[in-house]
A and B are shown apart, each in its own frame.
Chain A
Amino acid sequence: MIGIVSYGTYVPRYRVSIKEIALAWKKDPEEIAIALGVREKSVPGIDEDAVTIAIEAASQSLSLFLKKPNAIEALFVGSESHPYAVNPTSTIVGELLDIGHEYLASDLEFACKAGTAAVQMIAGLVASGQITYGMAIGADTAQSKPHDALEYTSASAGVAVILGKTHIIADLISYNSYSSDTPDFWRRDGIRYPSHAGRFTGEPAYFAHVMGAAQRLLNKSKVNISDIDYCVFHMPNGKFPREAAKRLGFADKQLGASLVVDHIGNPYSASSLMGLASVLDVAKPNKTIFMVSYGSGAGSDAFLWKTTKEISKFHSKQKKSGYTIEHQLRQTTDITYTEYLKYTHKL
Chain B
Amino acid sequence: MLSPVKIWRNQKHIASQLGLVGTIISWSLIRVPPDGFNDQAPYPIAIVELENGSRILSQVVDWKTDSLKPGQKVKTVVRRTIETTQDGVIPYGIKVKPI
Interface string of A90-110 (1 = CB under 8 A from B): 001001111000000000000
Binds B, one of A15-23, A46-54, A73-81: A46-54
Contacts of A98 in B (CB 8 A): 15
Q: How far is the CB of A321 from chain B (nearest CB, A)?
A: 11
Q: How far is the CB of A61 from chain B (nearest CB, A)?
A: 12
Contacts of B40 in A (CB 8 A): 46-47
> CA of A87 to CA of B92 in the docked complex: distance in angstroms?
14
Given A45-B62, A47-B40, A95:B15 Cβ within 8 A? yes
Contacts of A63 in B (CB 8 A): 19
**Contact: A47 with B80, CB < 8 Å?**
yes
Interface size on B, residues (CB 8 A): 19
Given A13-B62, A63-B19, A95-B15, A342:B39 Cβ within 8 A? yes
**Contact: A52 with B14, CB < 8 Å?**
no
> CA of A345 to CA of B92 in the docked complex: distance in angstroms?
17
Q: Which 6 A-B pairs have the closest CB atoms?
A: A47-B79, A47-B80, A55-B78, A96-B15, A98-B15, A52-B78
Interface membership of B18, Cβ < 8 A: yes
Q: How many A-B residue contacts, CB cutoff 8 Å?
A: 51
Interface membership of B77, Cβ < 8 A: yes
Other than the given A47-B81, A51-B90, 7 more pairs (CB < 8 A) read: A49-B90, A84-B90, A92-B11, A95-B11, A96-B92, A333-B62, A333-B64
5 contacts between A and B (CB under 8 A): A47-B79, A92-B11, A96-B15, A96-B78, A96-B92
Interface size class, chain A:
20 to 34
Interface membership of B56, Cβ < 8 A: no
Interface string of B5-23 (1 = CB under 8 A from A): 0000001001100110000
Q: Which of B14, B18, B62, B90 is in CB contact (< 8 Å) with A59?
A: B18
Interface membership of B61, Cβ < 8 A: yes
Given A13-B62, A45-B61, A46-B39, A52:B19 Cβ within 8 A? no
Q: How far is the CB of A52 from chain B (nearest CB, A)?
A: 5
Q: Which of B19, B79, B92, B95 is in CB contact (< 8 Å) with A92?
A: B92
Contacts of B89 in A (CB 8 A): 87
Chain A residues close to B by CB (< 8 Å): 13, 45-49, 51-52, 55-56, 59, 63, 83-84, 87, 92, 95-98, 333, 342, 345
Chain B residues close to A by CB (< 8 Å): 11, 14-15, 18-19, 39-40, 61-62, 64, 77-81, 89-90, 92, 95
> CA of A49 to CA of B83 in the docked complex: distance in angstroms?
13
Q: How far is the CB of B14 from chain A (nearest CB, A)?
A: 6
In the complex, what residue of chain B is closest to A48 when comparing beta carbons? B79
Contacts of A92 in B (CB 8 A): 11, 92
In the complex, what residue of chain B is closest to A59 when comparing beta carbons? B19
**Contact: A97 with B77, CB < 8 Å?**
no
Contacts of B11 in A (CB 8 A): 92, 95-96
> CA of A4 to CA of B79 in the docked complex: distance in angstroms?
28
Q: Which of B15, B39, B80 is in CB contact (< 8 Å) with A48?
A: B80
Q: How far is the CB of B54 from chain A (nearest CB, A)?
A: 18
Contacts of A84 in B (CB 8 A): 90
Q: How far is the CB of B40 from chain A (nearest CB, A)?
A: 6
Contacts of A333 in B (CB 8 A): 62, 64
In the complex, what residue of chain A is closest to B77 when comparing beta carbons? A56
